Amino acid sequence: MKKFSWPDRTNEYWRRASFLKPPQDFKISDISPVEKWEILPDFNTHISFSNGNLIDQDLKEGVSIKSINPNDSLSRPGSIPGGEPWNQWTISNGNVYQIDIDDTFPENEPLVIREKICPSGKISSNYFFCNIKKNINLSIYYLIEGSGEGFHSGGFTIVLDSSSNLKLMHIQDISKKTDARFNWEIKNNKKTNSEWNLAALGGRSVRHECRLELQKESNSSLKGVYVPYDGQRHEFQTQQDHKEGDSTSDLLLKGAVGSGSRGIFQGMINIRPEAQKSNAYQTNRNLSLSRNARIETIPGLEIEANDVKCSHGATVSKIDPYSLFYLSSRGIEKNEAAKLLAEGFFYEVSDNFPKEIRSVVNESINKRLLEAF
């Protein structure tokens, strides 16, 4: 099989982003599996990965997983413009798996997929495709955690067959010493609904490429939070790609950027010529928690149909001084008041997580806010 080389600077399609480079030794990590879970440690896990390797599976009826030939997978992920060289490298140099879910999987419990990333100065890489068959109502918890210093490139493509519904609860909390690039996407076929809730918390310099693809009469949403602090940099490049009409997409990303950190957002809504009567919304809201925090936000629309509803918006603001004064006047110490206001800023997203995951997300946000203040 052809091994694609790591993209060079000429492949960098967005000049505000710093170019991500893997370690100089360029060796794929072969570290032994690590099975100690920090996120929801007492929660039953169905599929587990460590540094891109499948290490465990406790599959319920209706779920199967297999390793597949990367050669047959290179063209399967969609690509945010400019992202194809990274997808090719990730798939050709890592492990690729396929997960299939049919209608015998129980609707009253989630499918839990865990991934541990511990590259220890090297590189880890993997990608998985998840196929959800017709007429299924499914919840997936995808929990990524890690430790150590290194580089990771990975992602997933989830495909919904007609008349299926998905709720994806997704936490990324890798080590603050790990650089990473993720390509994540959900493809909605006819008459499907997907709800994606994302907490992107870990990593040193991280690029998140998030893509929603919509066919006729489908609906898809992505709501996410990110809290870079202490020198972290989080980049989000998103695409809501309406291939056919009568479809709806909604994207809301909220970030709070701490001292010496950077938050970057570039979003694009694509309405193709055949996507008449589509509705699309895109919002990015940010809190600047320090004078030396840096935030850049660039929403975009590319509309090739004439009977659509599209809107986008972006804001960068500081903690409201009047609200801060009010809380301080009630005897709440200033830093604690600022933390409370920042917490409230995220509730619109964090409340969408189920109870057991919401507590993990809120605890992680609070920890980062305490360090930011």
Residue type, 239: Q
* pLDDT > 90? residue 308: yes
At 30 the pLDDT is: 59
Coil, strand, or helix at residue 190?
coil
Output the pLDDT for position 13: 63
pLDDT of residue 183: 94
pLDDT band with cut points at 50, 70 and 90 for residue 372: low
What is the residue-wise DSSP string for 237-265?
Answer: EEEEEE-SSS-EEEEEEEEEE-TT-EEEE
pLDDT range class, residue 85, cuts 50, 70, 90: confident
| Spatial separation of the C-alpha atoms in residues 144 and 265, rounded to whole Å | 22
By C-alpha distance, which of 182, 171, 307, 312 is closest to 250?
312
Q: Which of 22-31, 143-152, 245-254, 292-301 has maximum average pLDDT?
A: 245-254
Q: Give me the pLDDT at residue 259, please.
A: 85
Higher pLDDT, 167 or 55: 167
Instruction: State the pLDDT confidence band at 325, using cuts at 50, 70 and 90.
Output: confident
Domain ranges of the chain: 9-372
d(CA 361, CA 224): 11
pTM of the model: 0.93
**How sure is the predictor about 314, in pLDDT bands with cuts at 50, 70 and 90?**
very high
Cα 363 from Cα 149, distance rounded (Å): 23
Q: Say which DSSP state 7 is in.
A: P
Cα–Cα distance, 213 to 99 (Å, whole number): 19
Higher pLDDT among residues 371 and 217, named by residue: 217
The mean of the pLDDT values for the chain is 88
Question: How far apart, in whole angstroms, are the C-alpha atoms of residue 265 and residue 22?
Answer: 22
Residue 208 confidence (pLDDT) above 80: yes
Q: Where are the beta strands (DSSP E) in 215-359?
A: 219-226, 233-242, 248-257, 262-271, 279-288, 294-298, 301-303, 309-317
Q: What is the CA radius of gyration of the chain?
A: 20
